[in-house]
A and B are shown apart, each in its own frame.
Chain A
Amino acid sequence: GDSVTQMEGPVTLSEEAFLTINCTYTATGYPSLFWYVQYPGEGLQLLLKATKADDKGSNKGFEATYRKETTSFHLEKGSVQVSDSAVYFCALYTGGFKTIFGAGTRLFVKA
């Protein structure tokens, strides 16, 4: 069945470091791909999305490119801030009503 695999956390970085969180997927058809973020004490919220191959989603300095050939959607940011500390979830939607989430990757950014 459809599934999402994310790199395990926690990921600990110093402020201004480069961030990559890996995400790969298995899906039938052509899914839409998402990154959601959960800040401490808050609900999950959409960070960015891409709906077809080679699309790049971007928001708040974060980017992810939909790579069909490697079935990947890695999240990147060039310079992280303390305020980026959160749990990041990769997710996919294949049109069957449900969005399928990865297990989440916790990011800690130190000042």
Chain B
Amino acid sequence: GAGVSQTPSNKVTEKGKYVELRCDPISGHTALYWYRQSLGQGPEFLIYFQGTGAADDSGLPNDRFFAVRPEGSVSTLKIQRTERGDSAVYLCASSLNARGEGSPLHFGNGTRLTVT
């Protein structure tokens, strides 16, 4: 079946601009995560959705970052007033659920964001 799909695969934007990154999870996966990966680092947690609600947004770095998942499927990560330090690969992952012993995460290929 189809995996996690992220669009665009690459995004170049100017400092100060607004960007939206889209994630389409695996059908039937209720848990959705956004992570950020900087060069040479592991994925860093940003936000977790269970269904439509953000159950844990403790990883969002500041209020310029916001994410939604209005119908419990597709999610959009929104970044306002982008800064050069926001440049990274933004990863989306989904899983069947987030409880218990930890369902494995299924990752998309990521969106590489470059802020010039």
Q: Which residue of A lies closest to B3 (CB)?
A: A43
Size category, A interface? 20 to 34
Task: Given the known inter-chain contacts A100-B45, A104-B42, please indicate yes or no for A42 contacting B102, CB distance below 8 A.
Answer: no
Asked if B104 and A103 make an inter-chain contact with CB atoms under 8 angstroms apart, the answer reads: no
Binds A, one of B12-20, B69-77, B106-114: B106-114
Task: Given the known inter-chain contacts A44-B107, A49-B104, please indicate yes or no for A89 contacting B43, CB distance below 8 A.
Answer: yes
CB-CB contacts of B34-53 with A at 8 A, as 1s and 0s?
A: 01000011111100100000
Asked if B104 and A98 make an inter-chain contact with CB atoms under 8 angstroms apart, the answer reads: no
- In the assembled complex, how far is the CB of residue B45 from the closest CB belonging to chain A, in whole angstroms? 4
Among A34, A36, A43, find the residue whose CB has the most chain B CB atoms closer than 10 A.
A43
B4 lies within 8 A of chain A by Cβ: yes
- In the assembled complex, how far is the CB of residue A49 from the closest CB belonging to chain B, in whole angstroms? 7
Asked if B43 and A95 make an inter-chain contact with CB atoms under 8 angstroms apart, the answer reads: no
A13–B33 Cα distance when bound, in Å, is 34
Which chain A residues border B56 with CB–CB below 8 Å? 96-98
A17–B107 Cα distance when bound, in Å, is 30
Q: A residues engaging B (CB < 8 A)?
A: 4, 32, 34, 36, 42-46, 49, 51, 89, 91, 93, 95-104
Q: What are 22 contact pairs spanning A and B, CB under 8 A?
A: A32-B101, A32-B102, A42-B109, A43-B4, A43-B110, A44-B43, A44-B91, A44-B107, A49-B104, A51-B101, A89-B42, A93-B101, A97-B48, A97-B56, A98-B59, A99-B45, A99-B102, A101-B42, A101-B43, A101-B44, A103-B42, A104-B40
- Give 4 nearest A-B pairs by CB, closest first: A93-B102, A101-B42, A46-B104, A43-B107
8 further interface pairs, Cβ-Cβ under 8 Å (given A44-B43, A93-B101, A104-B41)? A34-B102, A36-B107, A42-B109, A43-B107, A44-B105, A93-B102, A95-B102, A96-B56
